[in-house]
Amino acid sequence: MTSVQTRHALETRALDHLWMHSNDLEWDDLQEGGLRVFSRGHGSTLIDVHGAEYIDGLAGLFVVAAGHGRTEIGEAMARQAGEIAYTAASNAANPVNIALAEKISSLTPGDLNRVFLCSGGSEAVESAMKIAKQVQVMRGHGKRYKIIARRGSYHGTTFGAASLTGSASEKYFGPFMPGVSKVPNPNQYRNDFGLDGEAGDIMCARFIEQEILAQGPENVAAVIGEPISVANGTHLPSPIYWQMLRDICDRYGVLLIMDEVITGWGRTGKWFAAEHYGVVPDIMTMAKGLSSGYAPVAAVAVRSSIFDDFRPTGQALNHLITFGGHAVAAAAALKNIEILERENLVQRSAEMGTYLYDLAQKLRSHPTVGDVRGGLGLLCAIDFVKNKDTREAWGTSHPFIKFLALRTQEEGLVTRVWDVLHLAPPFVLTRDEAERAIDIVDRCLTEAEAKFADEIQ
């Protein structure tokens, strides 16, 4: 069999046997050339089995911070595997997961200094939710089981996390976990209250207070939200939103959970997005950039006041993760953090994020670009509309969106295209790569607009 036949055989085998996770392309699109099998990578570049190169415009899935091809992370994992790979998280520790917990504690804001290690973001959210509920019971508030989340949010796909996720499909999996209510998410482009800018964010914060009162403060355990909700279109709230939310939660004895699974570890140009807002949550979740994707690892960091409630009783958290604190994964995370610090990549994320955001402004000249958002680190979003005046979106299943998703990939940019095109490349992105990424979007968007000109108003 020739090398070309072998490459095509890989794609066939993938379609025949591999159950792809939820993706942006339909099954037919994958069969007709949408599937890419990547075999190598370096920096911000992915290389498929045919040798074609692509800019990784989404860092895998908002994951690869330090870049692809970091052999020293693999070497650190191999060394650790040769010493000890696994100890049970329930009754033992190992030197490397102790070191990781210490390192996380040294970088998280405020007194978020107790670390519960997990395997992934959904597990981190499940763990945070259980911590919040159990500590409320231990404080004598046995009725505090309700969680307030936000519409359009994303917190994972395990059942509890999906119950909090604003876009989860109850059609297939409902009814979801009881006791969850959804409130408006900050959105300065299509605000639920018809308000622009900071005024809309303030109303969103006030709505959360009203929801706490409606549910009864004695029944609410926690409020959860991403500092910047990527799933909701990468809308950047005004600092006053989070500051108000911190005050509201304190006023009613409700715990504040910040989900930093995407935004943590330098994605926003600071170690954690909470730093932009001057707020310390009670509980913070993290994953993705923690290891740059070289191993499945996540964590929940809690304030001293949370963990201290467990000390007098001697009561353990009624929850465990089999692979939480896995030594090889912890070694990957530690080496990744070392690289981020050594190469000053968090600052690079801030600088390149500004550069990418400034480049993307030229896309506003397109009749289908309603908004360009970003400017805090390497998070950028281009919002597509049929009509700039009404801000009518296309809908994620519209052929315009599907065409754009396929064409950008064919032109060498791997990203996510919904009603919003997301750009969140690795922190090692170069200026040339940033320019090429925007040029690809520009050209493909021109093609899409020509193809669907009759529908653009």
Residue after which a domain boundary falls, among 326, 342, 358: 342
Residues 125 and 75 both lie in one domain: yes
- What gap in Å lies between CA 366 and CA 388, rounded to an integer? 10
Same domain, 188 and 279: yes
Same domain (yes/no): 303, 391: no
Do 197 and 278 share a domain, yes or no?
Answer: yes
Instruction: Assess whether 10 and 140 both reside in one domain.
Output: no
Instruction: Examine the fold and report which residue of 342, 367, 392 is the final residue of a domain before the chain moves on.
Output: 342
Range of the domain at 254: 71-342
pTM of the predicted model, to two decimals?
Answer: 0.94
Residues 156 and 8 in one domain: no
- Which pLDDT score, from 0 to 100, does residue 90 have? 82
pLDDT for residue 17:
81
Let me know whether 133 and 267 are in one domain. Answer: yes
pLDDT per residue of the chain (457 residues) written in tens, 0 to 9: 445 555 567 877 887 888 877 655 555 555 555 678 899 999 999 999 989 999 999 999 999 999 999 999 999 999 999 999 999 988 889 999 999 999 999 999 999 999 999 999 999 999 999 999 999 999 999 999 999 999 999 999 999 999 999 776 778 888 899 999 999 999 999 999 999 899 999 999 999 999 999 999 999 999 999 999 999 999 999 999 999 999 999 999 999 999 999 999 999 999 999 999 999 999 999 999 999 999 999 999 999 999 999 876 667 899 999 999 999 999 999 999 999 999 999 999 999 999 999 999 999 999 999 999 999 999 999 999 999 999 999 999 999 999 999 999 999 999 999 999 999 999 999 999 999 999 999 999 999 999 999 999 8
Tokens of 376: 């805090």
Predicted local distance difference test score (pLDDT) of residue 170: 79
Same domain, 326 and 353: no
Q: pLDDT at position 222, please?
A: 98
Q: Report which of 114, 62, 112, 101 is spatially closest to residue 268, judged by C-alpha positions.
A: 62
Q: Are residues 90 and 173 in the same domain?
A: yes
Give the amino acid at 49.
Answer: V
Contact, 239 vs 278, CB < 8 A?
Answer: yes
Q: Which of 322, 342, 362 is the last residue of a domain?
A: 342
CA distances from 109 to 99, 271, 276 (A): 18, 9, 11
Phi, psi of 215 (to 5 degrees): -80, -20
pLDDT digits (tens, 9 = 90+) for 29-68: 555 556 788 999 999 999 999 899 999 999 999 999 999 9
Whether 115 and 299 have beta carbons less than 8 Å apart is answered as: yes
Contact 46, 414 (CB under 8 A): yes
Beta bridge partners of 373: 381
Q: Name, in order, each residue with C-beta under 8 angstroms of 104's C-beta and a sequence gap of 6 or more.
A: 115, 286, 299, 301
Residues 285 and 380 in one domain: no
In CATH, what number is assigned to the domain containing residue 296? Answer: 3.40.640.10
| Co-location of 451 and 385 in the same domain | yes
SS3 readout for 169-219 = CHHHHCCCCCCEEEECCCCCCCCCCCCCHHHHHHHHHHHHHHHHHHHCHHH
Answer for the pair 129, 158: CB distance below 8 angstroms, yes or no: no
Report how many domains make up the chain: 2
In this prediction, residue 1 carries a pLDDT of 40
Which parts of 295-427 fold into alpha helices (H)?
304-307, 327-342, 345-360, 399-410
Q: What is the CATH number of the domain that holds 377?
A: 3.90.1150.10
Nearest 10 degrees: Cα torsion 220, 210, 151, 371: -140
pLDDT at 174: 83
Distances (CA, A) of 270 to 44, 66, 263, 422: 20, 14, 9, 19
Same domain, 19 and 48: yes
- Give the pLDDT score at 27: 53
